[in-house]
Amino acid sequence: MSTFNNFGLNIEILKAIKELGFETPTPIQAETIPLLMSSSQDIIATAQTGTGKTAAFGLPAILLVNPNNKNTQTLILCPTRELCVQITRDLISYSKYMKGINVLAVYGGARIDSQIRALKKGAQIVVGTPGRTRDLINRRKLFVENIERVVLDEADEMLTMGFKEELDAILENTPDNKQTLLFSATMSKKVVSITRKYMKKPVEISVARTNVGAENIKHVNYMVQAKDRYEVLKRIADMNPNIYGIVFCRTRRETKEIANKLMHDGYNADAIHGDLSQSQRDEVMGKFRRRSLQVLVATDVAARGLDVNDLTHIINYNLPDDPEVYVHRSGRTGRAGKSGISIAIIHTRDIRKLREIERISGISFSKELVPDGRDICEKRLYALIDKIEKVEVNEEQIGPFLDDIYEKLASFDRENLIKHFVSAEFNRYLSYYKNSRDINISGGKNKRDSREPRDRKSRSERRKSKFATIYINVGARNNLSPNRLMGLINEALDSKDAVIGSIDIMKKFSFFEIEENRKTEIINALNKESFEDVSLSVEISKEMPNKASSTKDDYFKGKRKNKFGRDNKFRSKKGRKNKGSKGKWNKG
């Protein structure tokens, strides 16, 4: 069995990693470290988060540094600030007993002048995000013309995030004889193109996914209607009083909304997303690492580089499109021999994704029913009793108050005292869940109503439905089409169940019909969104537009006045309306 002592690492590094608890090398470390110690060949390593990649490339990089040369010798590129900071912290920990080695993180969202000052002092290893690294190179503050090696960590994610131009600009400034190390969870076409352009006869290393199908991770799915997903999330939190986990959402907007709802409802939660400043992100992550927060809501991009131990739950508020991303998420729990749970909250339309994850990763999901009110109340009640039973009593602190307490409670017998005590702590759950409904569905049917036919409206019935006509300020000029508009509506409502009537796409704006009872919901949702870089403005129209009508104002009963105080109609110089193509009136 290989050990770190077999790799030729010096005594200072071995001492540091022993203090960090490193014992047996992971597969990626066992294959990569010996190769880097004995060769300058380029390496392509297929490995995911949680496999020990940082030590795999970091330990040799530290050992091979010349401490007497203050110039940058190794450049490590990664997609996010969090991962950049995490890698830097790890390398500093590995090299804590080695003198003269400086590791510097450079990333956006932090003051560039302080990073420039640190570069002037000398940093043999620079860890950076592509944007800030390119900026520093262009400013002639970071010199990479003579570096010895480049590490591209999470290469697939950097390309997915649109950093190809930055990577090309950086790599074109580096010497041809450098060593290039590329680490990627997947080998997409974009990643392959990078390897072909910048790497020479690379050695390929592929390691088994250490966190897929592991016996200590339980994979569970709950099937509900899309509108009930937040209710499921609350029930999971209520059912697990000691939860310490991450909730993964698809978008920044959803991340903020879910975190705000949880905090408003009294849960110990917060969010991390791209709109936070670096100091705000550091504050949130500090609280989460200290367990001051129990639930962190995040997107996949924002969660890159978050190295947090002992997570009990990973909750997929949305299943990712890429099965490998689910693998990354679930692998954040069940580490170091501890057990963990990865939960997928799904709808019937997600079954195909679920099966694809099972097929590719070897994971087997257990379909379970969402806990009902009775389950949750019972769990919380016994958790409360266990807490009371195990609480440490400090006689010195409570002693001075006991006589008064005994006097106030003298009228209660043992049975009534217990009832009052439990009710004082427990009434909130009993009140909330006393009439809780069954939100499970099976095969598209609600479990409770499985004997009844599905409530599907026929086309003729849909025509009879009451519709509201909605105006939206984008049209054909903004590349809006009926399909894209329907997609925009479904995404905003987070559902494909909305009944949409007629759609009329005009040049600069459009109209669509939607069920009367969804009009307020869609207006509120779309007014927070943008389309093709246009902030959306959405409001109710009185009726569906006539094809021969000219402007938006014709569809509203109250005509607005223009700046000259006249009716807002558009006329040619001769006073006639300027007729556009296809019988429509053109504003200009």
b/e burial code for range 150-159 (CB count within 10 A of at least 16 → b): bbbbbbbbbb
Predicted confidence at residue 550, as pLDDT, reads 42
pLDDT > 50? residue 196: yes
pLDDT > 50? residue 215: yes
Higher pLDDT, 9 or 374: 9
DSSP letter at 478?
G
pLDDT one-digit tens code per residue, 417-441: 888 877 776 777 777 777 778 888 8
pLDDT > 70? residue 556: no
DSSP string, 496-549: S---EEEEEE-SS-EEEEEEGGGHHHHHHHHTT-EETTEE--EEEESSPPPTT-
Predicted confidence at residue 444, as pLDDT, reads 40
When pLDDT is averaged across residues 125-129 and rounded to a whole number, the result is 96
Predicted confidence at residue 148, as pLDDT, reads 95
User: Percentage of residues in the chain with pLDDT exceeding 90?
Assistant: 35
| Whole-structure pTM value | 0.53
User: Which domains occur in the chain, in start order?
Assistant: 4-206 (3.40.50.300), 217-372 (3.40.50.300), 375-433 (no CATH), 459-583 (3.30.70.330)
Q: How confident is the model at residue 188 (pLDDT cuts 50, 70, 90)?
A: confident
pLDDT > 50? residue 553: no
Predicted confidence at residue 120, as pLDDT, reads 94
Distance CA 267, CA 299 (A): 19
pLDDT one-digit tens code per residue, 98-122: 999 999 999 987 889 999 999 999 9
Q: How confident is the model at residue 461 (pLDDT cuts 50, 70, 90)?
A: very low
Predicted confidence at residue 569, as pLDDT, reads 38
pLDDT > 90? residue 43: yes
Asked if 73 and 65 count as a contact pair (C-beta separation under 8 A), the reply is yes
Predicted confidence at residue 1, as pLDDT, reads 56
Q: How confident is the model at residue 548 (pLDDT cuts 50, 70, 90)?
A: very low
> Which of 169-178, 293-302, 387-396 is predicted most confidently?
169-178
pLDDT one-digit tens code per residue, 146-184: 999 999 998 888 887 789 999 999 999 999 999 999 998
When pLDDT is averaged across residues 123-137 and rounded to a whole number, the result is 95
When pLDDT is averaged across residues 531-547 and rounded to a whole number, the result is 75
| Three-state DSSP class for residue 419 | helix
Distance CA 300, CA 250 (A): 8
Q: Which of 34-48, 275-289, 502-516 has the lowest mean pLDDT?
A: 275-289
Report how far Cα 432 is from the mean position of its chain's Cα atoms: 29
pLDDT > 50? residue 56: yes
pLDDT > 70? residue 544: no
When pLDDT is averaged across residues 311-332 and rounded to a whole number, the result is 86
Predicted confidence at residue 105, as pLDDT, reads 95
